[in-house]
Amino acid sequence: MSALLGSARRHGFTLAYGLIVALAALLRLGGLTDVPHTLWVDEAWFGLKGREVVRGQDWLPLEPPGLGIGNSAYQIYAAALVQALGVPAAYSSRTASAATGVLVVAALYPTLLALWRGVLPEPGRQWGALAATAAMAMHFSGLLYSRGGGQMPASALAAVLVALGLYKTFASNRLRWAAFTGVVAGLGQNTYEAALGLPVWMAVYTGLRWLWPGALTRRRVLWLGGAAFLAAFLALAPFLVFFYFNPGIFLAHVGETQTVGRAGGAWASLLQAGQGLARVWLGVSFIGDELPGRNLVGRPFFDPFSSLLLWAGVARALWRARTPAFQLMLAWIGVMAIPSALSNEPPAFSRMLPMAPALCGFAGLTVAAAWEWTAARGRAAQLVTAGALAAGLALGGAASSHAYFVGWAGQPRLFDAIYFGARLTAEAALAQAAQGDVLVTTRSEPFVRYPFELLLGGSAVETFDATPDCLPYADGRARPTTYGVIQVIDPASLPALQAAYPQAQITSSVMHPDGYAYSVFLQVPAGARAPAPARRLDVEFAGGLRLTGYDSPAEARPGETVTVRLYWAAPGPLQARLTGFVHLGRGRQSDPLLAQHDGPLCPGFTPDRWSAGFRYLETRRLTLPAEAAPGEYDLRVGVYDPTTGTRLAVTSASVPAEDDRAILTPFQVR
């Protein structure tokens, strides 16, 4: 009968564990493409790099990303894997993050069971591990970062697996567990910079086991620890070679997101680190990460009920600090608090995430202790205690879920904090594409560029960089042309387009929570003509590029700036990047050459984006020298290939041309 009851209990724990993992999956994967309704630059970057791996373009697409973008090989390969399984590239990184977050929860239960075997009595061990796993499944920051498309959950998964391997290494006295630990810790360095604490944690725990070796000899402890570090080195070796030749890639994000040690000397750095550690530990239960993108501002890392449980568990572990399992857990939270302490504006909850499974484990220790205490006080006491603990964890989990899906995801500050505007603008552009041609600016702004490449790549929507010096104007196109302008980045294009097309209509806008239009879509009717030049002409260059007109003053005084506006057209994409020039001089040799302007031909439009039915209006400015002699000069325009310096031949011209330069007009210097 007892065997039957034991089997039923084991099956019950297994079922409960499965339900908790299913809950974690539901919270992390449910409505994933819409909450949060953004495509943050990190997430988009990982999706793009994952796509390069899937397409075989680059097997290790790491590069100095700038902008504080994480550079995680793990996240790139994880995004590539889910893309290979059929997930759209735009949502591949957040799917990978969510799946990793589920794995953290799934791995925590067996890890805690292994750590507490022989330390906690049955069935308190199982109840404690289940409670810890449930707390992790519903943990607010675990939920937030699992749905954010970043690499942070991977560092938490690495921490859980290192905990399992590190404990089993010394408990079983097996080299294979040392190898497992080292491989996980080594590869974990490619997840997130918080994982830099993993080797330190390994060293600290090895030192503790050397001080209290138990059944092992101290020599054996060092042998096992050394084997783990050797395995870590070998696992990381291919990446170490890469990072040796590209150190900036590894250090870029670390340097951008930590301030300790930059200035003030050793004592100032120690003081700053100490203050950071204090804020990290206060952040566990009392203060919150103040950045709205990283937290619901002011919310601590754990809710009050879970905090009460975990601090009681920490006290219990300290009371039994010579127990190897508790030494491991205390070293876990002690060492892994350091990356957050060294960050800008601690507590940085993203870097505290590897601590979260251990902190949940301490909460589980308190649950196990409560079960032990009630076991001697009868069934009624057990039921009351179990009900109170379950209710507290459930209410805390419900509060965390509400805080994320309603409080955090609905706060207006997220529009700027994680850049909602890029995705909303891209979605509006795709909706407009059904009605006609759509062009969206601006393309090179990194917070827009990566989301645009992922969401709009391969679609009918064109993206480009509009500048005051170059703008494409629709000219007699058969379909309406809609311009999407992000006004906070490009304030000049919308007024210019409205002046050129008085009949154009604003069809939609993406509104900022503060009440102004973040981006505006202006539709130009079919057949509308581009602005006409003051002086018409027709000069055709080799390859089909045409100069159809220009605006220019006929005279200027020495020291003044002459503004020349050129009207370009092309039958289709250009064959290469071209450089245009304007020379202001005298005669065939432009001697003397008073001024010139050389620069890329409409640099915001790459050669493949030139299209028939547009006039590309660019502005070039030439400043006359103060000592310019009065007299008659001329303006000459041409184009050349910047890689060879060879001018494009003028194949036909309605104005005089010499040496592949079109002569525009006589010009007087007064």
Give the tens place of pLDDT for each residue, 395-453. 999 999 999 999 999 999 999 999 899 999 999 999 999 889 999 987 778 889 899 99
Average pLDDT of span 573-593: 93
Question: Among residues 524, 550, 577, which one ends one of the domains?
Answer: 524
Decide if 549 is inside a domain: yes
Average pLDDT of span 328-347: 93
42 and 174: one domain? yes
pLDDT digits (tens, 9 = 90+) for 387-409: 999 999 999 999 999 999 999 99
- pLDDT for 176 beyond 60: yes
Q: From CA 336, how far away is CA 202, in angstroms rounded?
A: 11
Q: Please give the pLDDT value at position 259.
A: 59
| Alpha carbon separation from 287 to 14, 279, 342, 454, 476 (Å, rounded) | 36, 8, 17, 37, 61
- pLDDT for 364 beyond 70: yes
- pLDDT for 71 beyond 80: no
| Amino acid letter, residue 588 | R
- pLDDT for 1 beyond 50: no
596 and 458: one domain? no
289 and 380: one domain? yes
Higher pLDDT, residue 506 or 444: 506
430 and 374: one domain? no
- pLDDT for 45 beyond 80: yes
Q: Is residue 660 within 8 Å of residue 650, measured between CB atoms?
A: yes
pLDDT tier for residue 648 given thresholds of 50, 70 and 90: very high
Decide if 530 is inside a domain: no
Q: Please give the pLDDT value at position 7.
A: 65
CATH of the domain at 568: 2.60.40.2550
pLDDT tier for residue 6 given thresholds of 50, 70 and 90: low
pLDDT digits (tens, 9 = 90+) for 636-646: 999 999 999 99
518 and 585: one domain? no
Can you give the residue range of the structural domain that contains 541? 535-669
Lowest mean pLDDT among 58-62, 564-568, 661-665, 666-670: 58-62
- pLDDT for 253 beyond 80: no
The pLDDT mean for the chain works out to 92
Average pLDDT of span 2-9: 58
433 and 500: one domain? yes
403 and 439: one domain? no
Average pLDDT of span 148-157: 96
Question: Among residues 501, 524, 547, which one ends one of the domains?
Answer: 524
Give the SS3 label for residue 642: coil
pLDDT digits (tens, 9 = 90+) for 9-25: 778 899 999 999 999 99
| Amino acid letter, residue 534 | A
Q: 431-434: long-range contacts at Cβ-Cβ below 8 A with a sequence spacing of 24 or more? A: 431/508, 432/482, 432/484, 432/507, 432/508, 432/521, 432/523, 433/459, 433/460, 433/461
Q: Please give the pLDDT value at position 275.
A: 92
Decide if 414 is inside a domain: no
Give the distance between the most distant pair of CA atoms in the chain.
114
Q: Please give the pLDDT value at position 63.
A: 67
Decide if 529 is inside a domain: no
129 and 23: one domain? yes
Average pLDDT of span 365-369: 96
Contacts of 447 (CB under 8 A, 6+ apart): 41, 67, 419, 422
Token code pair at residue 306 = 């879970």
508 and 656: one domain? no
60 and 170: one domain? yes
Is the peptide bond between 123 and the residue preceding it cis, with omega within 30 degrees of 0?
yes
Q: Is residue 177 within 8 Å of residue 169, measured between CB atoms?
A: yes
22 and 142: one domain? yes
